[in-house]
Amino acid sequence: MDEHSVQVEKDQSLKDFASFLKKNFLTELAKENIQRVRKLDIPLMRFFSHMSERELLEASIIGLNTFLTDIEEGKAVETAEKNLELWEADKLPGISQDSLEPSDLVLVYVAQKQALFDFIPKFTQDPLIIINIIHSLEDFYMKTQDAAFKLYIKLRTASAERTTKLQAEQDATMKYANELKEVNDKLLHQSKKLNIKTEELKDSNNRIEAILESINDGFYSLDNNWNFTYLNARAQNSLGKPREELIGKNIFEVLPVLNNSNFGESFKKAMNEKVMIHLEGYYSLGDAWYEIRVYPSESGLSIFFMDITERKNAEEKLTKQALDLTRSNEELQQFAYIASHDLQEPLRIISSYVQLLVRRYKSKLDDDADEFMKFILEGVNRMHSLIEDLLEYSSVDKNNNEFYKTSLEISFNQAKKNLLQTIKENEARIEADNFPELSIDQSQITQLFQNLLSNSIKYRSKNTPKIYISAIQKDNEWMFSVKDNGIGIEPQYFDKIFL
């Protein structure tokens, strides 16, 4: 992932966070913001002293809603610049140019940022998204504060220049010197107040560290010289060494097994090409499989990893089961094919001799003998039909016909045509819905319809066979059902028939 993609991902995380706050926690955020402003005792609050608590809360909600909307639309920095332009033009509503100082803005930004940070865990527990949001907010407030300081100095310098032109040279010089001294004093005072920002950054780092310690992933960071800069507890356990022995040490020296390994090469690629890397691999030192995500930055690499050994073992087991099942199916198909062929020959011999007996001795023996020969022929024919079905079944998976989008009604009509004589002999009545067009193997679908219709007629009751086939679409699938008035199937045989 290049720098542009990383920035886009950060911006999108901040926009999603702003939308989440507007939708779910706008009022709570406004209350938290007011409390933090009061806690910091910001001088700017004197301009709102005439407001009631309700009015102040409504004003805060409106302001935060506008601010979050600007973040959603990517206009937060633009709006901040416009507000500074209003300050420069002395057009801020209700606030004069001289009454507003950078310290007021800094403290307002600190309070607002602290309030926003408190709501991040309500939005997500993903450490990468949390880091993206914190970095984006830090960048925004840093840019805005720097711009405010520069404008303040510009305004004060311009004011001193205007004063110089209106007064005598000596008085103007003195006043200008006093003005510069005042600016210096205020900047010195401001630098002390900026210590708040330093503490805030420390607090931000502590929050990030607390989050990284609580996640299920192992995490560690490396600087540009491949030295460890941070490890969470899970990473220490996985690497088998305490944090104190790893911080500041080169990862390839501490873990030489990474040299010339897939993991090590991936780390180098992420560092050199500034791209995000995602990989899975076996780590021999820990005798485990890991899923690893590597995120590059200007300061080095951030590496998240998770033990996926159980998942890999499960995948390997499923793969082995699939191979065993495939082999078993192939063996069963081969057995069915060979067995059905081997049975054909003795069956033909039986059939031939029974037919010879019928031709020679029909009506020459008693009626029972004629009936017995008839039963034998019928049984032979049924056995022949079963063997043919077995042969056909054993060759189903060997059919390599391609799938084409075709109306199933064509296959249905062909199946009825194939069974025309059987249908006529049994006076079967067959009805069906309008079938859809689907991508199918037409020959197999025709055989399927033929088998369904044939079975319904074969296992008929004493009544005229009535068969109804319907098709209903459910979501992205079609459900077909076959209904007849035959003898039915005993429930105890369902698990043997419908496999």
Apex 373 CA angle, 368 and 377, nearest 5: 145
For residue range 272-297, what is the model confidence (pLDDT) as tens digits? Answer: 998 999 988 887 666 788 888 999 98
Cα atoms in the 13 Å half-sphere on the side-chain side of 148: 22
Judged against a pLDDT cut of 70, whether residue 97 lies above it is answered with no
Residues of the chain with pLDDT > 90, as a percent, come to 11
Higher pLDDT, 199 or 227: 227
Contacts of 473 (CB under 8 A, 6+ apart): 436, 479
Judged against a pLDDT cut of 70, whether residue 102 lies above it is answered with no
Segment 193-211 mean pLDDT:
67
Segment 300-318 mean pLDDT:
86
Segment 355-380 mean pLDDT:
79
For residue range 320-360, what is the model confidence (pLDDT) as tens digits? Answer: 887 877 777 677 666 666 666 667 667 778 878 778 887 88
Q: What is the pLDDT of residue 399?
A: 53
Q: What is the pLDDT of residue 223?
A: 92
Contact indicator for 450, 418 with CB cutoff of 8 Å: yes
Neighbouring-strand partners of residue 90:
none
The amino acid that residue 90 corresponds to is D
Contacts of 119 (CB under 8 A, 6+ apart): 21, 25, 28, 29, 32
With CA atoms as reference, report the closest residue to 380 among 342, 419, 354: 354
Q: How far is CA 418 from CA 278, 413, 415, in A?
A: 57, 9, 5
Contacts 24+ apart (CB under 8 A), 436-439: 436/407, 436/408, 436/471, 436/473, 436/478, 437/405, 437/406, 437/407, 437/408, 438/405, 438/406, 438/408, 438/478, 439/403, 439/404, 439/405, 439/406
Contact indicator for 480, 436 with CB cutoff of 8 Å: no
Mean pLDDT of the residues in the chain: 80
Judged against a pLDDT cut of 90, whether residue 179 lies above it is answered with no
Q: How many CB atoms lie within 10 A of CB 90?
A: 12
Q: What is the pLDDT of residue 20?
A: 94
Q: Which of 115-119, 150-154, 298-302, 397-401 is predicted with the least confidence, judged by mean pLDDT?
A: 397-401
Contact indicator for 246, 233 with CB cutoff of 8 Å: no
The amino acid that residue 240 corresponds to is G
Most confident of 26-40, 138-152, 323-337, 479-493: 26-40
Segment 116-137 mean pLDDT:
89
Judged against a pLDDT cut of 60, whether residue 491 lies above it is answered with yes
Contact indicator for 212, 233 with CB cutoff of 8 Å: no
Backbone angles phi, psi at 441, to 5 degrees: -95, 105
Backbone angles phi, psi at 70, to 5 degrees: -60, -40
Judged against a pLDDT cut of 80, whether residue 48 lies above it is answered with no
Burial class (CB in 10 A: 0-12, 13-18, 19+), 352: exposed
With bands split at pLDDT 50, 70 and 90, how would you rate the model's confidence at 370? confident
Contacts of 165 (CB under 8 A, 6+ apart): 172
Q: What is the pLDDT of residue 496?
A: 58
Q: What is the pLDDT of residue 114?
A: 86
Segment 81-106 mean pLDDT:
69
Higher pLDDT, 482 or 390: 482
Residues of the chain with pLDDT > 70, as a percent, come to 79
Q: What is the pLDDT of residue 337?
A: 64
Q: What is the pLDDT of residue 245?
A: 85
Radius of gyration of the chain (CA): 42
Secondary structure of the chain in the HEC alphabet? CCHHHHHHHHHHHHHHHHHHHHHHCHHHHHHHHHHHHHHCCCHHHHHHCCCCHHHHHHHHHHHHHHHHHHHHCCCHHHHHHHHHHHHHCCCCCCCCCCCCCHHHHHHHHHHHHHHHHHCHHHHCCCHHHHHHHHHHHHHHHHHHHHHHHHHHHHHHHHHHHHHHHHCCHHHHHHHHHHHHHHHHHHHHHHHHHCHHHHHHHHHHHHHHHHHHHHCCCEEEEEECCCEEEEECHHHHHHHCCCHHHHECCEHHHHCHHHCCCHHHHHHHHHHHHCCCEEEEEEECCCCEEEEEEEEEECCEEEEEEEECHHHHHHHHHHHHHHHHHHHHHHHHHHHHHHHHHHHHHHHHHHHHHHHHHHHHHCCCCCHHHHHHHHHHHHHHHHHHHHHHHHHHHHCHHHCCCCCEEEEHHHHHHHHHHHCHHHHHHHCCEEEECCCCEEEECHHHHHHHHHHHHHHHHHCCCCCCCEEEEEEEEECCEEEEEEEECCCCCCHHHHHHHCC
For residue range 405-462, what is the model confidence (pLDDT) as tens digits? Answer: 888 889 899 988 888 888 998 988 999 888 898 888 888 888 888 988 888 888 888 8
Contact indicator for 443, 400 with CB cutoff of 8 Å: no
Judged against a pLDDT cut of 90, whether residue 397 lies above it is answered with no
Cα–Cα distance for residue pair 258/228, rounded to 1 Å: 14
Judged against a pLDDT cut of 60, whether residue 396 lies above it is answered with no
Segment 42-69 mean pLDDT:
83
With CA atoms as reference, report the closest residue to 101 among 152, 39, 145: 152
Q: What is the pLDDT of residue 23?
A: 93
Judged against a pLDDT cut of 80, whether residue 247 lies above it is answered with yes
Q: How far is CA 161 from CA 101, 153, 180, in A?
A: 19, 12, 11
Q: What is the pLDDT of residue 25?
A: 92
With CA atoms as reference, report the closest residue to 303 among 205, 212, 220: 220
Q: What is the distance between the terminal CA atoms of the chain, rounded to a whole angstrom?
A: 48
